Amino acid sequence: MVSPFASPRALFHYTYRMTRILITGASGLLGINLAQEIMPVHEVIGVDRGKLINAPFKVVKADLSDPRHLDSILDSERPAWLINCAALADLEACEKDPDTARRLNIDLPAQLAKSCKAREIRFVHISTDAVFDGEKFGAYSEDDAPNPLGAYAQTKLNGELSALSENPRAIVARVNFYGWSLNGRRSLAEFFVGSLENKKNVSGFTDVMFCPMLVNDTARTLIKMLEKNLAGLYHLVGAEAMSKYQFGVEIARKFQFDENLIAPKSVRASNLTARRSPNLWLSTHKLSTALGESLPTFSTGLNEFYTQRQSGYPQKIRSYQQG
């Protein structure tokens, strides 16, 4: 019986059945913020290779490039939902090490999809906006044919296809997000904030369009998708498209940094090895229709990103990896 003096939070947990959610890649940019968003309402179990030694949720240590670990984790932890945020998400690393890219971006989601289906665990796999070649004028829908340009995009596309063929009830979400990460260097937004704050000159691509979403908005939307029992392929990105240069300028203005420190640059003038799509503009019409609501706007996300910094959120996240 619940005490009449129980806190509102305790009463909430008494009346609301918590769901146990397993997050792979819990130390990553999405994983750690997803855990943060889920913790107040559901039970989180993170899977991590050893970085998270001070996290406020249960962490299981495992190297997921070895699929033998997977089934025993699922059998001992018995989650109701699994959200796969583990990946080799560095484009240059995927070009250099295609074997690891294949194991993490294709074999892992295929195995997880299969194992989750066998155990009736709802499965979400995270994919990327980079599966398209960027030749289209305008936004890509889920019906447009992908044409990956490099090893990262190709392995992510194959991972989507394997996950959905193993488990047609899975959710596959193509994302793009920014936010505060464990090492403070994972997202483009952190790069702009860190550089501009120190008055460093940087450049921003004027010819790469994308739809950035605050990672906390991505996390909250993923939970809504699970709660709505969605299945299949969805685009889960910010509602507005902009160039990477413009994104930097928006951050500079919000944080009151000098936007003139950002030089406009063409991606063609960079010496990056991995080919990149110049147009990562995805339509979110299918998802907003399925959810029955609009996705969060860019300005609300940017406001929250700014407020998070004022309230010490980046330090809180980083403290999870300290002793």
Ligand X SMILES: NC(=O)c1ccc[n+]([C@@H]2O[C@H](COP(=O)([O-])OP(=O)(O)OC[C@H]3O[C@@H](n4cnc5c(N)ncnc54)[C@H](OP(=O)(O)O)[C@@H]3O)[C@@H](O)[C@H]2O)c1
Residues that bind ligand X (CB under 6 A): 25, 27-31, 49, 51, 63-65, 85-87, 89, 104, 126, 128-129, 156, 175-177, 186
Strand partners, 265: 205
Please identify, using beta-carbon distances, which residue of 12 and 172 lies nearer to ligand X: 172
> What is the C-alpha separation between 70 and 48, in angstroms, rounded?
12
Please identify, using beta-carbon distances, which residue of 215 and 258 lies nearer to ligand X: 215
Query: Rounded to the nearest whole angstrom, what is the least distance from the CB of residue 302 to ligand X in the complex?
Result: 15
The count of C-alpha atoms lying within 13 angstroms of the C-alpha of 233, restricted to the half-sphere facing its C-beta, is: 22
Are 140 and 211 within 8 A, CB to CB? no
Please identify, using beta-carbon distances, which residue of 13 and 321 lies nearer to ligand X: 321
Query: Rounded to the nearest whole angstrom, what is the least distance from the CB of residue 123 to ligand X in the complex?
Result: 14
The count of C-alpha atoms lying within 13 angstroms of the C-alpha of 159, restricted to the half-sphere facing its C-beta, is: 34
**Token code pair at residue 271:** 């010496």
List the one residue out of 105, 321, 314, 305 whose CA is nearest residue 215: 305
Please identify, using beta-carbon distances, which residue of 13 and 100 lies nearer to ligand X: 100
Please identify, using beta-carbon distances, which residue of 126 and 317 lies nearer to ligand X: 126
Q: Measuring CA to CA, how many Å separate 40 from each of 9, 34, 35, 220, 310?
A: 9, 11, 9, 12, 21
- When CB distances to ligand X are compared, the closest residue is 28
Query: Rounded to the nearest whole angstrom, what is the least distance from the CB of residue 206 to ligand X in the complex?
Result: 19
Q: Which residues fall within 8 angstroms of residue 114, CB to CB, at 6 or more apart?
A: 166, 167
Q: Which residues fall within 8 angstroms of residue 295, CB to CB, at 6 or more apart?
A: 213, 217, 221, 236, 238, 239, 284, 287, 288
Backbone angles phi, psi at 124, to 5 degrees: -120, 130
Query: Rounded to the nearest whole angstrom, what is the least distance from the CB of residue 51 to ligand X in the complex?
Result: 5
**Token code pair at residue 154:** 């190709």
Counted residue by residue, the chain has a size of 323
**What number of other Cβ atoms are within 10 A of residue 220's Cβ?**
16
Query: Rounded to the nearest whole angstrom, what is the least distance from the CB of residue 186 to ligand X in the complex?
Result: 5
Please identify, using beta-carbon distances, which residue of 13 and 240 lies nearer to ligand X: 240
Please identify, using beta-carbon distances, which residue of 12 and 316 lies nearer to ligand X: 316
Please identify, using beta-carbon distances, which residue of 13 and 71 lies nearer to ligand X: 71
Query: Rounded to the nearest whole angstrom, what is the least distance from the CB of residue 29 to ligand X in the complex?
Result: 4
Query: Rounded to the nearest whole angstrom, what is the least distance from the CB of residue 250 to ligand X in the complex?
Result: 16
**Token code pair at residue 119:** 């155990």
13: amino acid identity, one letter: H
Query: Rounded to the nearest whole angstrom, what is the least distance from the CB of residue 35 to ligand X in the complex?
Result: 11
Are 202 and 247 within 8 A, CB to CB? no
